[in-house]
């Protein structure tokens, strides 16, 4: 093998290595720029969240300092609303169940024609 073939092989290898390094550097640069953009957006969102948290913190009143009778009335109202909603859901389930179970074949003749037919 002549001496210049080694020179060509090593030149191609070095150029390939430099190309690969340039590609990885460009890819890393693009990822860093994208991460910077996302970090800036995250900082904006964190700022909005901290402002809203401060607004909520100003209007917060602990229940320990509230009047007992007011808290008791609110609790009873909440329990009454929950019981009413629960009963309404139960009534709706029972109504749907009755529609499924207590269907009169004569009221829906085309659907239950095979039941009304005498053989």
Residues 6+ apart with CB under 8 A from 106: 116
Q: Which of 15, 31, 60 is the last residue of a domain?
A: 60
Per-residue pLDDT tens digits of the chain, which is 119 residues long: 888 899 999 999 999 999 999 999 999 999 999 999 999 999 999 999 999 888 877 766 777 888 899 999 999 999 999 999 999 999 999 988 887 776 666 666 666 666 667 76
Domain ranges, residue 115: 63-119
Same domain for 1 and 51, yes or no, is yes
Checking 96-104 for CB contacts under 8 A at 24+ apart, the result is: none
pTM of the model: 0.42
Same domain for 55 and 70, yes or no, is no
pLDDT value of residue 3: 84
HSE, CB side, 13 Å, CA atoms: give it for residue 61. 5
Same domain for 56 and 71, yes or no, is no
Same domain for 5 and 17, yes or no, is yes
Same domain for 32 and 72, yes or no, is no
Same domain for 90 and 46, yes or no, is no
């Amino acid at each position: 093998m002549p001496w210049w073939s080694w020179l060509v092989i090593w030149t191609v290898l070095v150029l390939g290595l430099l190309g690969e390094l340039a590609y990885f550097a460009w890819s890393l640069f693009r990822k860093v720029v994208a991460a910077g953009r996302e970090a800036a957006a995250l900082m904006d969102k964190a700022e909005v969240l901290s402002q809203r948290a401060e607004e909520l913190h100003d209007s917060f009143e602990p229940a320990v300092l509230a009047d007992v009778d007011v808290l008791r009335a609110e609790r009873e109202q909440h329990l009454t609303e929950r019981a009413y909603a629960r009963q309404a859901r139960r009534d709706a389930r029972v109504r749907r169940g009755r529609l499924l179970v207590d269907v009169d074949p004569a009221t829906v003749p085309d659907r239950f024609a095979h039941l009304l037919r005498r053989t």
